[in-house]
Structure 1
Amino acid sequence: MQEPIRQSYEAAKELYAQHGIDVDQVLRELEKLKISVHCWQGDDVRGFLFQDQALTGGISVTGNYPGAARTPNELRSDLEKAFSLIPGKHKVNLHAIYADTEEKPELDELEPRHFQRWVDWARERGLGLDFNPTCFSHEMSKDGLTLSHPDPAVRRFWIDHCKASRRIGAYFGEQLGQTCVTNVWVPDGYKDTPADRMAPRKRLKASLDEVFAEKLDPSHHLDAVESKLFGLGSEAYTVGSHEFYMGYAIQNHKMICLDAGHFHPTEVISNKLSSLALYTSGILLHVSRPMRWDSDHVVVMDDELLDIGRELVRSRLLDTTHIGLDFFDASINRVAAWVIGTRNTIKALLRAMLEPVEALKKAELDGDFTTRLALTEEFKSYPFGAVWDYYCDKSGVPVRENWLAEVKTYEQNVLLKRGSRASIVN
């Protein structure tokens, strides 16, 4: 432990202790939290099953920064580098297209064995795995529709894929001893106003009923469903709207996935957490940073991220909320993007845990809004950074921006030596 860091930490502890905040206990609690780091930042959502397939589903990745992962081993190497710079033990969130296999299975034919190398890798490093069916960038995502498509054969393909994905997720949980969350998102929608809004939603509901019919051990596997406001090609109408999935999840005891970019630009997910928590057994978060639309920018410590952290802490939702990341930026170093976004998410949770929550609640209950505002504002300048530096140093990861030098070295020694994806495929 560097002496200046320890001294700053001890001084910060004394300040927080004046408000009854046990900083040592806060760090013990913070260490238990797991962020599910999304694999698709590392290769621009391309995956390894259909590498020549164009990106569809209303998704777009911009930029051409060198060094995108081209193989599962390269992606795992990049993730390892990122995790070495992030305090705590976390999880990796996989999409189905990231299968690591010499076979050429179709999406509806995927089995746990196609992900065994991921499981072995995660077990060796004490990581958990989450999962997602990939209902986009495929020839069967016809007309922008999957589980709600009017053609029964198309629906059958995607139903079987989602059923296979749930079994894979359950295998992850069983093998790793960490519950896997499998999240179902489909891009279904129309570019222009539909004549019939009801029929696609009836088809989607029926498809989901079949997908979730198989009972799986909740200690190994949990289901979530994710809404979206719109996407490229589905600007006018999204079948799986927030209201659709809110009703479906509550009625069928599934988790609701809230993505920070999947709502109207004036909406924030922090304000939805306490309401949904009253009616659901758990919530899945996809922490992102929308800019103008669901552009999935790298997470920064802005007001909404801080409010998400505060809401989770103040409403005591950390035990029932699964926190994941969802952004992809090909204009900057992809490993750095993981590190920045994950460290910021943990920082936001730490800041929330270092606030005088009970004092704020008491002042509010007593009608003393002056004290509530004064404490809220003064704590914004309390030395949480000294606590963060100590936590990083104690966890064996670089303090402050020192991690950037390691990423730059990795870029020179590894990323810049990679050729194009085509050099691997061909």
Structure 2
Amino acid sequence: MSVESNYQVAKELYAQYGIDTDAVLEKLSEIPVSVHCWQIDDLTGFEDFNAKLSGGLAATGNAGGKPKSVPEYFENLTKALKLIPGKKKVAAHAIYLDNGGVNNIDRNAIEPKHFTHWVEYAKEMGIGLDFNPTYFNHAKAEDGFTLSSYDEGIRQFWVEHGKRCRKIGEYFGKEMGQVCYTNHWIPDGYKDITVDKMGPREVLIRSLDEIFAEKIDPAYNVDSVESKLFGLGSEAYVTGSHEFYTNYVANRKNCIICLDAGHYHPTEVISAKLSSYLVFGQEIMLHVSRPMRWDSDHVTILDDETMAIMEEIARYDAFDKVHIGLDFFDASIDRIAATAIGGRTAKKAILKALLQPTAELQKAEHEGNLTKRLALLEEVKGLPFGLVWAKYCEMCGCEQDSWIRRYE
């Protein structure tokens, strides 16, 4: 049977539950997923192709195919993006700059002109852009502190980096005609018992206030701050914790929160947190990852938590408030395939969430009919979601599964 005939069967089956698959596909086509640039090369960047990760970061594995030049990097990224159907953005990091052959451009001196190659690439690919300052892999981050450092020279260096990254985000937003989300994550913390936990946080507040002091039109750039429970070398204390950033965002209102699926206790999930931000009208940036053991950043798959995240967004129709980005790196498998698998999975999870009879489920719950709620949730799991996915891939001119044969 053809993709179309299979889709018509699925369409009729979903219609029995009041689900309009045509409307769902139209909705899905408007929801972007921000694909992180760093899976392609293990977060090495363009400053130094032999750079080693620091700040509690690690890309494990030694699979072949890691790009050895900027042209090869973009060739591989293009291959991955073409395997992900629908609307997309790419989240670039500050270390992926074009230094024009000048090797001494430091992080506190980067400008929009060093990232014109990303704008040109994004326009050619018909995608949007997000951005990330790189507060790690640098001599001024080796003691484990950046924006919360007591060393004023180091602190000011990173404050300037943050300010310049916001201007690059603004540049991306203006050039692409859509909001760039500039996400700030720092590795700051202590490896062992910490006596003064408040002091570094007071410094971090001052640094963030300075970085965000200049008003930038939110039509071009919106900043987010990303928390973490711990990292290698900061097992005892992390300055930018979840509680810290939640309070900073609520009190300052100059940025939004970023929730990373791998940055919490093993049994703590971000799907349970979303409604507590949305009920107050807050925007949220997501980093969708798969923490097999803590923040291990495995490639996103269609697991329970990924589905729960997308279901929460879909049930409140909050795709305008929650911005979906990916964040994982696995060097044990082909990096192009890893990027594609994670991106396709995110799209599949959104589609599957949209294919639920949300209004009927909520009605049953509000009426106290919990039997119907559970029965209906379980019955729709058996509907042929894969046939709708195949139709979506065809609509987008994207391969459904034939691409897998290239890895046989």
TM-score, structure 1 normalization: 0.93
Q: Does 2:197 correspond to 1:177?
A: no
Partner of 2:351: 350
CA distance change for structure 1 residues 248 and 240 in 2, over 3 Å: closer, same or farther?
same
1:414 corresponds to: none
Matched with 1:247 is 247
The CA distance in 1 between the partners of 2:337 and 2:38, in whole Å, is 14
Distance in 1 between residues matched to 2:342 and 2:37, nearest whole Å: 13
Count of residues in Structure 1 that have an aligned counterpart in Structure 2: 405
Q: Which runs of 5+ in 2 are unaligned?
A: none
Structure 1 280/71 Cα, relative in aligned 2: closer, same or farther at 3 Å?
farther
SS for the counterpart of 2:2 is helix
Q: Distance in 1 between matches of 2:20 and 2:206?
A: 50
What secondary structure does 2:143 align onto?
A: helix
Residue type of the alignment partner of 1:288:
S
| 1:280 positional shift | 4.8
Give 1:53 deviation, angstroms.
3.7
- Aligned partner of 2:98 in structure 1 is 100
Q: Which residue of 2 aligns with 1:422?
A: none
Query: What residue is the counterpart of 1:118 in the other structure?
Result: 118
1:339 paired to 2:340? yes
Tell whether 2:77 aligns with 1:75: no
Q: Residue 47 of structure 2 corresponds to which residue in structure 1?
A: 49
User: CA, structure 1 residues 120+218, in 2 after alignment: closer, same or farther (shift >3 Å)?
Assistant: same
Instruction: Determine whether 1:364 maps to 2:365.
Output: yes
Displacement of 1:255: 1.1
Using the TM superposition, give the Cα deviation of residue 389 of structure 1 relative to its aligned residue in structure 2, in angstroms: 0.7
Counterpart position of 1:316: 317
SS in 1 for 2:349: helix
| CA deviation profile, 1:154-198 (whole Å, cap 9, x unmatched) | 000000000000000100000011210000000100000111011
- Percent identity of paired positions between Structure 1 and Structure 2: 53
CA distance in 2, matches of 1:362, 1:279: 23
State the Cα deviation string for residues 67-110 of structure 1 (Å, max 9, x = none): 11222222211111112111113111111000022223100000
How far the C-alpha of 1:52 sits from its partner, in A, is 4.1
Q: Which residue of 1 aligns with 2:229?
A: 229
Cα shift readout 1:272-325 (whole Å, capped 9, x = no counterpart) = 000011235310000000011101000010000010110000022111111000
Deviation at 1:54, TM superposition (A): 2.6
Aligned letter for 2:392? Y
In angstroms, what is the RMSD of aligned CA positions? 1.2
1:96-150 Cα offsets, whole Å, 9 max, x none, are 0000222231000000000111111111221111001000010000310000011
Structure 1 contact 201–239 (Cα < 8 Å) conserved = yes
In the TM superposition, 1:12-23 aligns within 5 A as: 12-23=10-21
1:211 corresponding residue in structure 2: 211
What secondary structure does 2:147 align onto?
coil
User: Structure 1: which 4+ aligned runs deviate by more than 4 Å?
Assistant: none
Query: Amino acid of the residue matched to residue 262 of structure 1?
Result: H
Match of 2:385 in 1: 384
1:237-293 superposed Cα distances (whole Å, 9 cap, x missing partner): 000000000001111222100000000001000000000112353100000000111
* Paired position in structure 2 for 1:195: 195
TM-score, with structure 2 as normaliser: 0.97
Partner of 1:397: 398
Alignment partners' CA distance in 2, 1:72 and 1:265: 37
Structure 2 CA distance for aligned equivalents of residues 320 and 4 of structure 1: 37
Is 1:53–1:138's contact at 8 Å kept on the other side of the alignment? no
User: Which one has the bigger helix percentage?
Assistant: 1
Opposite residue 138 of structure 2, the aligned amino acid is H
Match of 1:30 in 2: 28
Q: For residue 302 of structure 2, what is the aligned residue in structure 1?
A: 301
Supply the AA of the counterpart residue of 2:386: G
**Secondary structure of 2:325's aligned partner:** strand
Q: Which moved more, 1:90-99 or 1:17-26?
A: 17-26
Partners of 2:225 and 2:138 in 1: how far apart? 20
Equivalent residue number for residue 168 of structure 2: 168
Aligned-partner Cα distance in 1 for 2:112–2:322: 26
Aligned partners of 2:369 and 2:68: how far apart in 1?
58
Q: 3-state DSSP class of the match of 1:181?
A: strand
Any idea what the Cα deviations from partners look like across 1:211-252, whole Å, max 9, x if unmatched?
000110110110100000000000000000000000011112
Q: 2-side partners of 1:56 and 1:218: how far apart? A: 32
- Asked whether the 8 Å contact 2:41–2:67 carries over to 1, the reply is yes
Return the alpha-carbon distance in structure 1 between the equivalents of residues 49 and 75 of structure 2: 19
Once residues 396 and 53 of structure 1 are traced to their aligned partners in structure 2, the CA distance between those partners, rounded to angstroms, is: 37
